[in-house]
Chain A
């Protein structure tokens, strides 16, 4: 029953722990990456703004001193404002069109820088040129901003300042590319973090899982055997404490179960001895009818007592499983009923050997077949072999059971016809015991009404199923 979701999301504790931490780490690294990219972006804009500011200040100085914007020839060789002014122009119109990508962050930075250097202007705009420069120029521009190759230049920013005389002082500044190394750095960092965290984490969770596995097996073993077998506490202290608590609890439960067995044995003994005394004294009653009735009453009490004690002890008898010829068992029980004058037929009794607790399955069969002859006049028994189970089917010709009452039949002390039952001496525990015995073997007991072709009740079918192999 594994759905896709369960497949994606591990079910074990260690799996979940590792997956959760891995996921949290990944999210943390993503946030880290976003922050880094943003910082880098801001730095790039700072650089663009600083470069533009330098040139604008230099150009403004020249213009105010009446010198030309660019000194020709040899100026170019020196790394002087002349070089920086290479891409500086004085234009009559605003070169930054609305179609360009605007750089408001750069403009904002410049607006805070320029006035403090005495640069006067009417307005200031910044944008990216929409026609990217050729690769060779890009490489040169990259060299200008200290990079090694063209890939580190994203493009050219145009910053234009409208001077008080209406002309546009325009500078072009290369915009550095966001470094791709950031991605690689983040990935390398994440991998390293994973290694550093996951290796001890896997080791730790496996240790925890091992301790928990031992505990789980101990619980299952106790469930199966009801014998306390202390588990050696291991793992972290909480788990070790849990293991110790479990050991204490299983020991207490085992003690209680043993006490229960002792108590039931004592009850059985203490009630049966006076019953035996009564049964002996009954023999001295002269009236034969009275004597028979009294003996019957004692038998009823004894049966009820035995059934109650059995029900309380089921699963605790320690009776071993033995290979039993089921066909012969069914036939023997059928013959017992035949000897008592009941009509019981066995349709098909193949030789089928199953490991059983003989006394319990014999009891279950006696109870079910006994019910069939008591309420259903006769019993037809057949054995059907299934793929991995065998079913003993007991059919009677009785009145059946109202559909709503079928499940109730398995509850202790349920009798559907109290008046009739009292006379026949049912304890109301027969089916409860039978079902408990079959369940003890991993089998089941079901009851179902059978109908004739015309819809009238044909009788009740009881099916006792036992696993095979």
Chain B
């Protein structure tokens, strides 16, 4: 005898539970400033840099786009408050995050190793670099970082010309997946960004629509254990050194000599950061680049930059920072070309150490001798 009633009830109950679960998810805000649940900073130590990577099973790390989960996993979110510590956020691209570098070898790691102090106060540097080059991405991370407690005491923002073209501001997957935040930044600081229409439909907020976010969150928590057990968050494969011999190409993106149109570069990001930080000191650093001596090095500094464009950028950067009263350190030629690894902006541990030592003087000057 077939008990159809039983099967009907099973299906109805399953459907009801599914609808209820989705209703709960729909009712929850998709982005919340409330601290997200995380094993990091509780059961496991917080990560010293943001989750990022393409080889999760080897590096116990992977790229995800949920800002809240990323911040909750970062040591920045640890509930520690020491009145004798000044918290300094180090913002930037992969050169700050530390591609091919262990956490202690990154710029933040090297600055911490120098044990810098202002009087009784110890300076603690937090690595907020993320390996995509976009000023918009940096602004978004900065805005979110400023919501954490205790507050920042200073911000070092490392950047380079590659981060400025307006056309590539939204190219970073982290930005493309957080358009709500970018929309708010655009409105708040009147930024010249062309945003695509966001998709915040009910479907996107349902269990199905958020399956990737939920799965990423679970994976990130699971990787807390091997990360805590091994301290590893990146693999270090053999790499091809950054190009030494260069093409005789004078173009940079859509720009050609003699001049880059300033309105196609995102200099508005600098005063926006200044406004965002209010009284918190900001030091913009034009990060070191590899200056090639190989073929066509009279035309280009390196793979990224033709000389004319980079030289103009340095002049413009100086003008803009001066105009908005932002401290600038132009460190573009501070590091010898032999101290770069797989890219014209990635330093070796030794190069990073030399850079940190020289930069520390500027940092102390800004923070300790106001």
> Do A and B come together as binding partners?
no
Chain B residues close to A by CB (< 8 Å): none
